[in-house]
Amino acid sequence: MSARTVPKAKKTIEKTLDPQDWSSLHTLGHQMVDDMLSYLETVRERPSWQPLPAEVKASFSEPLPFEPQGAESTYQDFKRNVLPFPTGSIHPRFGLGDSRYRSQCVVRRCQAQGFQRISYVGTARFLKGQSKDIVCAAVEPEGAEVLAGKTVTKPDHLLQGTGYGKIHPFWDPPLMDLSIAITDNEAEEWRSLLARLEGLYVGYSAAANVLAAVKLLQSGRVRPDGLVATVLCDTGLKYLRVRK
């Protein structure tokens, strides 16, 4: 019998997304956990919110890299340009029902963006000084209608920027002609309607304002040919909840 040579199998190079160095990734992963725990531990020592510096803003307009940057480099970029500037306040006093603190956070954000004089009280006072026929309505979450003199029965609601369950010390009751209550379901529904029908991707508070304007028109408090103005006070970028 003649001998036959069996060809050697070609070596297949496995395609994988595994890191080249597991040991260094372990080290980086432990460092990430330590950093995040330290970030939460020291949250009371930092401002509740701070504006985005111009150089950080500019970094998001830089061209994307064509080559991999590595886990360590990416993490350092996150710590420098993302972590210090959360889109919402994570301060414990903000989330645990301290209404005065939350109000101060909102005021500081508005002031940082140049809206020092925009408020319900200031706007209503100016408008009523122009005409006694102008009707000013406050929008409140149903179950937290403190401006209307009602007891808070639902402190946990979707309208974060409109009702904290307490009356602000600068509140001036005569400037409110009526309070209009909006439920969570209504805010969700109108947020969806504004996105689908008008192309406006807004938050719950803005959707509540639009619905309140509709309710005001339907209430008979304004003339049939009257003009109702409201404010779309937030975007929907922070609210990715899908209604089932």
Biggest distance spanned by C-alpha atoms of the chain: 115
Question: Domains of the chain (ranges plus CATH)?
Answer: 41-51+85-118 (no CATH), 119-244 (3.40.50.1100)
> What mean pLDDT comes out for the span 110-131?
70
> What mean pLDDT comes out for the span 95-117?
49
| pLDDT the model gives residue 117 | 46
Distances in whole angstroms, Cα of residue 170 to Cα of each of 45, 84, 167, 198, 224: 28, 31, 8, 35, 33
Reply yes or no on whether the pLDDT at 71 is more than 80: yes
Does residue 98 or residue 144 have the better pLDDT? 144
| pLDDT the model gives residue 8 | 65
| pLDDT the model gives residue 106 | 53
How much is the mean pLDDT over the chain? 82
Classify burial at 41, counting beta carbons within 10 Å of its beta carbon; exposed 0-12, middle 13-18, buried 19 or more: exposed
CA torsion angle 40 44 46 50 (round to 10): 90
pTM, rounded to two decimals: 0.54
What type of residue sits at position 119?
A: S
Q: Which residues pair with 140 in a beta bridge?
A: 181
Cβ count within 10 A of residue 194: 19
Contact 90, 43 (CB under 8 A): yes
